[in-house]
Amino acid sequence: MHTRRWMHPFALIPLLVGSVWGEDTTTTTNQGQLAQGAANADAQVSPPDPNAAAVTSSTPTRLEEITVTERRPTQAASSETIRARDLELRPHSTTQEILNNLPGLVASQHAGGGKAMQYFLRGFDNDHGTDIALFVDGVPVNMVSHAHGQGYADLNFLIPETVDRVELYKGPYFVQWGDLANSGAVNFITKENASENSLQALGGFFNTMRYTGVISPTIGPVQTLLATEVYFSDGPFKNPENYTRYNFFGKFTLDPTPESKLSFWFSAHDGDWDASGQIPLREVHARRLDRFDAIDPTEGGKSDRQNVNLVYTYTPSAQENWLVQLYGSRSKLTLFSNFTFFLGDPVRGDGINQDDSRILYGGRVRYNRLWDLGNIPTQSTIGFETRNDDADVGLFHQQKRRRLGATTKVNVEERSFSGYLQHEFFLREWLRFQVGLRGDFFLFDVNDRLPANATDATRIRGNTTDGIVNPKASLIFSPFHKNQLWRDTEVFLNFGMGYHSNDARDAVQPGGKPLARSTGGELGVRTNLWEKLDLAAALWLLDLDSELVFVGDEGTTEASGPTRRWGVDFEARYPIFPWLLADLDLSFADPRFRVTGEAIPLAPTLLMNGGLTALFDNGFSGALRARYLDDRPANEDRSLTARGYLLLDLILRYRWRNIEASVQVLNLADVDWRQTQFATNSCVAQEVGVDPRCPANGAGEGVEDINFVPGYPITLRGGLTFFF
């Protein structure tokens, strides 16, 4: 029902700006709840959840109570939020499984469960995070100038049970997102407390075990959330992964005054694993290797990360609020890989060791105000951010995890300072316009740390600065707001410029380009028909001045030429019965290099997520999920193809009182699929001195082929959860 007692143009603003995830809600709003809405408005301009305490009845205000039943709008038709309740009915034991529930996004594991995932979104193979920005409550996950590739984003420190919702922003249209947010940004919002304390034990195929505990003890006025996770798996490989992961998360939230909120959390992660690595397809076809075999069984690594995050929000009135955030991270990764086997060193092999140890810290301040510009209700936002990375980064030649020599070893100091301003004008009840500007300034300083006797190594040193200014604009209108059937239809026009920074080791070189700009636009529509059928579609275009592509012999990324992508996104949700929901997400893209028209290696062209979800009153629930990734070119001339796949997952749950049993069957059809694959020039041992492309002196070009990591076969997992 659409009911309004219109008192003032501001009356709908907290509803309109209170959320970017488009949930249906019925809101009874008084002066205190309007303050809450104003604070919630920060969700679209600031990564953390900045819900401020409601202003008390003694707070001066000119707004009277109204009742609104309305669908909260988004800023773009392609924006989406997945909430904890939706995740519970889908695979969610890992952050990889959570990400694979997001429309148009596929996350896969390279080799060994401990590395960062490979992210596919909007025609981008983002490798480990080159053009997708990931956050947890606004704390950056991506690591710039990382040893294993620009934007390396390892989410293994996040415990899935602590996630309240996941916000997905596609495209460069949002002022709150800066570096790397070209294909989009993902922000994980953590819970303030657990609705129920729980202990869970889960086990399954391949010696997989997972134990979690989540509690919210009462500490006076402080809301608490404490969670721990222990995970182990050998995986399906003949060389067991021995992947062990330990996580801890603690969050404390307090309302110091009725107008303010203070939130603090810290987390700790430790991971250790072995890996079978990528293997050449030709060896599997020749039956010299099983698809779950390894060429170099000594691959693997170790990672750890600790984070702290402090957020303070202050809402002095129903029209304004402040947010201040400080965060810090310490991370370390030691990674052993061998992508080319015996191409460069036919005797000892081409094993590499990438080492990254860093301190990351930063913060942001944001002010949000609702005001009248003449007779036009306006929301204005101004924000300032800074980020600082101090990293020791090294690349070494290794054999069986023993270093043979250094290739590069540097200290990287990278600083960024950012500011943004956005105005949103509510021109009519059915029409709003957003315009914003974001500026970012970077300082890069690289110092060589190689020993004096490392004469054959590459010495890198230098410093440089660069800056970029990016405009953003969005027009959102409801052309059929008076029509009973189409009243919830909104049309979105979005434009924005974004960027990614390049690795500091490249940026300080003569002719280096520290920042690469993107320019994008989108036309989208979102509607709800018959109060049941949710539909959304978007046509988009994105140009990028410089593409980042994977380099196998160094195990990292490098800049290449300008690219263009265009595509279409489509989403549908429909409750077939009160207990059965169907959903479908499709994403098509046409990615290519602008000058030559060549293919962008591994860039996805067609993605699909969808399924059926059932929820019964007797405690039973279940879901059948499908995930599809189409074939795509593996190299520029399209002579090699990265084969796609269609996977089915089945999840069944039953809760009786305070005990819940669950069964998950992953890859239900037992499909042979490749989780990760690259076009790589390599030489296996038996090709050295035999194949002319693999001479014994190590000076050959190698054999170009698909090197891949196989996906898991049919996998059964079962678990018990005790709630208290």
Q: Where are the domains of the chain?
A: 9-71, 80-723
Q: What is the mean pLDDT of residues 420-439?
A: 96
402/392 Cα distance (integer angstroms) = 19
Dihedral sign computed on CA atoms, order 221, 222, 223, 226: negative
Going from the C-alpha of 297 to that of each of 293, 300, 399, 422, 427, the distances in angstroms are 9, 8, 11, 52, 63
pLDDT tens-place string over residues 352-369:
999 999 999 999 999 999
Q: In a 10 Å sphere around its CB, with 0-12 CB exposed, 13-18 middle and 19+ buried, how is residue 119 labelled?
A: buried
Going from the C-alpha of 676 to that of each of 21, 108, 110, 644, the distances in angstroms are 31, 7, 6, 10
Q: Quick check: 8 pLDDT over 80?
A: no
Backbone angles phi, psi at 52, to 5 degrees: -95, 160
User: Which residues 6+ apart lie within 8 Å of 279 measured at CB?
Assistant: 289, 291, 293, 294, 295, 707, 708, 709
Q: In this structure, are strands 320-337 and 80-83 parallel, antiparallel, or unpaired?
A: unpaired
Backbone angles phi, psi at 376, to 5 degrees: -105, 115
Torsion of CA 677, 681, 685, 688, to 10 degrees: 160
The DSSP secondary-structure symbol of 41 reads G
Q: What is the mean pLDDT of residues 614-632?
A: 95
Q: Which helix (H) or strand (E) holds 535?
A: strand 533-544
So what's the pLDDT on residue 351? 96
Query: In 290-401, which ranges are E strands?
Result: 299-317, 320-337, 352-373, 376-399
Q: What is the mean pLDDT of residues 660-673?
A: 96
Q: Quick check: 414 pLDDT over 60?
A: yes
Lowest mean pLDDT among 556-565, 601-610, 701-710: 556-565
Among the listed residues 186, 211, 207, the one whose alpha carbon sits nearest the alpha carbon of residue 199: 211
So what's the pLDDT on residue 358? 98
pLDDT band at 615 (very low <50, low <70, confident <90, very high): very high
So what's the pLDDT on residue 40? 36
So what's the pLDDT on residue 82? 84
Going from the C-alpha of 342 to that of each of 174, 252, 292, 322, the distances in angstroms are 46, 52, 20, 57
Contact 501, 442 (CB under 8 A): yes
Other Cβ atoms within 10 Å of 226 Cβ, number:
18
Q: Where are the alpha helices (DSSP H) in 488-578?
A: 504-507
Q: Quick check: 46 pLDDT over 90?
A: no
Q: Quick check: 11 pLDDT over 80?
A: no
Q: Quick check: 280 pLDDT over 90?
A: yes
Q: What is the mean pLDDT of residues 408-434?
A: 96
46/64 Cα distance (integer angstroms) = 28
So what's the pLDDT on residue 35? 32
* CATH number for the domain whose boundaries are 80-723: 2.40.170.20
pTM: 0.88
Residue 19 or 100, more confident: 100
* CA triple 35-36-38, angle to 5 deg: 60
So what's the pLDDT on residue 94? 84
723/211 Cα distance (integer angstroms) = 14
Q: Quick check: 36 pLDDT over 50?
A: no
pLDDT band at 56 (very low <50, low <70, confident <90, very high): very low
Q: What is the mean pLDDT of residues 219-238?
A: 96
299/717 Cα distance (integer angstroms) = 27
Lowest mean pLDDT among 3-12, 237-246, 381-390, 456-465: 3-12
Diameter over CA atoms, the chain: 86
Q: Quick check: 43 pLDDT over 50?
A: no
So what's the pLDDT on residue 458? 74
Contact 17, 37 (CB under 8 A): yes
pLDDT tens-place string over residues 687-698:
999 999 999 999
Lowest mean pLDDT among 57-66, 159-168, 456-465, 524-533: 57-66
Lowest mean pLDDT among 70-74, 138-142, 175-179: 70-74
Residue 82 or 184, more confident: 184
Q: Quick check: 455 pLDDT over 80?
A: no
So what's the pLDDT on residue 112? 67
pLDDT band at 550 (very low <50, low <70, confident <90, very high): low
pLDDT band at 639 (very low <50, low <70, confident <90, very high): very high
Q: Quick check: 487 pLDDT over 90?
A: no
4/64 Cα distance (integer angstroms) = 12
Report the share of the chain in percent with pLDDT over 90: 77
So what's the pLDDT on residue 89? 74
Q: What is the mean pLDDT of residues 331-342?
A: 96
178/439 Cα distance (integer angstroms) = 9
Contact 571, 81 (CB under 8 A): no
Q: In this structure, are strands 184-190 and 132-136 parallel, antiparallel, or unpaired?
A: parallel
21/183 Cα distance (integer angstroms) = 18
pLDDT band at 1 (very low <50, low <70, confident <90, very high): very low
Tell me the pLDDT of the chain averaged across its residues. Answer: 88
519/499 Cα distance (integer angstroms) = 8
Torsion of CA 570, 576, 582, 585, to 10 degrees: 0
Among the listed residues 637, 640, 584, the one whose alpha carbon sits nearest the alpha carbon of residue 608: 584
Q: Quick check: 447 pLDDT over 70?
A: yes
So what's the pLDDT on residue 21? 29
Among the listed residues 74, 75, 83, 70, the one whose alpha carbon sits nearest the alpha carbon of residue 22: 74
pLDDT tens-place string over residues 57-104:
333 333 333 333 344 457 898 988 888 777 777 777 788 889 998 999
User: Which residues 6+ apart lie within 8 Å of 516 measured at CB?
Assistant: 499, 500, 501, 502, 544, 545, 546, 559
So what's the pLDDT on residue 488? 84
207/244 Cα distance (integer angstroms) = 11
User: Which residues 6+ apart lie within 8 Å of 137 measured at CB?
Assistant: 47, 48, 49, 187, 188, 189, 190, 265, 309, 311
Q: Quick check: 617 pLDDT over 80?
A: yes
Among the listed residues 317, 265, 401, 346, the one whose alpha carbon sits nearest the alpha carbon of residue 55: 317
